A and B are shown apart, each in its own frame.
Chain A
């Protein structure tokens, strides 16, 4: 994928020549570096499943991936519109509950002003919308993003850290 931001070792940067491609064309039989919609990914052989990545729509249940989570390299979560917030919860579940440690990628209507919230929820790469510059979107990850609640990025809520600082 092009126009991609990835967080590597805690640092967000624009990545050139990412090998993964969304493959929703019906004749894509090759799994390698293909990001496939859930139904098509489920139809793959077990071996192919681990070489491909899966794309979840907002109403897909991440739990169906449980048996595979330690063998999948990449999961992409779709934002059909940046106003559709379901993928934030999917991301939180995948990271905090189901323990997915691979690359979690935001795809679709992915824009600068939502990136910080996505990162908090556990996204580790961001396929910025084609008509927007990833370099510019990177600024969305450079702002102050302290929050009160706990998140995947900061599992201790502020009130626990505040207490520690004051003690």
Chain B
């Protein structure tokens, strides 16, 4: 992975000292809370319901085992022994004392990490897909450009006080695993006919209370123009984005109000002024950064490993886990392994304890190349595991509670921290997640349902990305009571879609029943190997609406 040089180190170190000074000035009263707020947000520090929350950046979801051990140390020394992995591939610590934050940032800096711009109205952590560099369907490795963008956007002085937060994702594989279309800017990297790296630039996506999928504003942009083009988009947004209403301040509203063609034309006009400037990337810089992402020393392995095959035949639990929790690797004889942070009992989705972090780091050193990833779905990935090691690894993961074979299935719930932690939330999303996981604990049933995403957000800010879940659950406050609105048909990836509301919202305790009846409706109408989304597309929303509210008797017949 990318290693800091003296420039990177100096910049992050300076930032630690700057924030130490700002915290001291806040504590002495020299800085008002109003003045301190954007400064702390740009260092990842939120004030939540009970305490400060610190969000640490994990650029494009890549971590070394040394960094994971640092995170474990922070969890143990400064928090309550665990951290929460987020849908932006970051990690949050929920019980932080303000005066300790500079020391935490120092620990992070010593491990080549930071919390810069994980919050606030600025360019946030650049994300890509968790299997970058190893996926068998990858066209190009998106990580060098992701790192180049990370650097460019870090303390970029013109764009630190944007109208609203700004999220950029980049991906380059057959399947979009980075939710590109839900981003302010989505970048799709591919090779042109003459072999040159090109980008499709999409702008104006975002979830929140007005969910919109972004649209292409530029095709076939040569990669050298990446930074100038993003600069042009941000400059147009910084000048013209609305600032009078925070719910209308994202770039999606500007793109919508101008129309995508007019917005694209405006960007193009701006870009024409700067395209051939010093901002144009160089081959030397690409090579310098790409050096950090060189493939590790893979062994030459046979495609078929007899011991692995034997274990698959002998142990159905192992076979089931490999089916859901491993992914094909571009190198023969290797696989990528997903560690589910969604046990159906116990921890909240995305929560990982310090001992688990250390154990995972040990396993990544022992069986992999000392590197791991965080997925957009809040799970962890060991990217390079030899198939012959999978059985032992599976057992070791089982011992630490990270081998639940449910990745991509119903109980692999994406959920925001909700009202248990977050002061913005109008409802508690975690108890709903737990109730659903408990109700559908039966693995045979889950496997029968197949690929199915379920996303829960505790409020309209949509941090749980409920709009793009096959089943989406949104918490709403109705006169002090928690209600949940359910949508279906949302999807991420190439066939991205925003889910549609099925009908009136229901109380928390009714949610599992409604989900159960939706699933019974699906199973009733399903043909052959259809997924939930396929069936919905074929038969439409109406039968699900009927079923969800028990108007047609299908729910009763299944009885799950």
Contacts and interface: CB of A to CB of B under 8 A. Distances in A.
Interface residues of A, number: 36
B239 A89 contact: yes
A128 interface: no
A67 interface: no
Contacts of A88: 157-161, 238
A56 B279 CA distance: 27
Contacts of A160: 278, 282, 285
B114 to A, nearest CB: 13
Contacts of B154: 147-148
A99 interface: no
B156 interface: yes
B523 interface: no
A158 B151 contact: yes
Contacts of A162: 5, 7, 285, 288
Contacts of A82: 35, 38, 161
Contacts of A85: 121, 158-163, 238
Interface string A90-116: 101000010000000000000101101
Given A88-B157, A144-B10, A147-B155, A157 B278 contact: yes
Interface in B162-200: 162-163
Given A88-B158, A92-B158, A162-B288, A144 B14 contact: yes
A143 B14 contact: yes
B18 to A, nearest CB: 6
Nearest to B277: A150
A70 B394 CA distance: 71
A130 interface: no
Contacts of A97: 273
B161 A149 contact: no
Contacts of A156: 278
A26 B455 CA distance: 58
A150 B163 CA distance: 22
Classify the interface of chain B: helix, strand, loop or mixed.
helix
A117 B160 contact: yes
A146 interface: yes
Interface in A106-150: 111, 113-114, 116-118, 120-121, 143-150
Contacts of A155: 278
Contacts of B163: 85
A148 B156 contact: yes
Nearest to B163: A85
Interface in A56-107: 82-86, 88-90, 92, 97
B35 A113 contact: yes
Contact of B11 (A92, A148, A159, A166): A148
Interface of B: 5, 7, 10-11, 14, 17-18, 22, 31, 35, 38-39, 121, 148, 151-163, 227, 231, 235, 238-239, 243, 273, 277-279, 281-282, 284-285, 288
5 contacts: A82-B35, A146-B14, A147-B11, A148-B151, A159-B285
Question: Which A-B residue pairs are the 7 nearest by beta carbons?
Answer: A85-B161, A117-B157, A120-B157, A144-B14, A159-B285, A148-B151, A149-B156
Given A85-B163, A158-B7, 16 more contacts: A84-B161, A85-B161, A88-B160, A144-B10, A144-B14, A146-B7, A148-B151, A149-B158, A149-B227, A150-B278, A150-B279, A151-B158, A156-B278, A157-B227, A159-B282, A163-B285
Interface of A: 82-86, 88-90, 92, 97, 111, 113-114, 116-118, 120-121, 143-151, 155-160, 162-163, 166
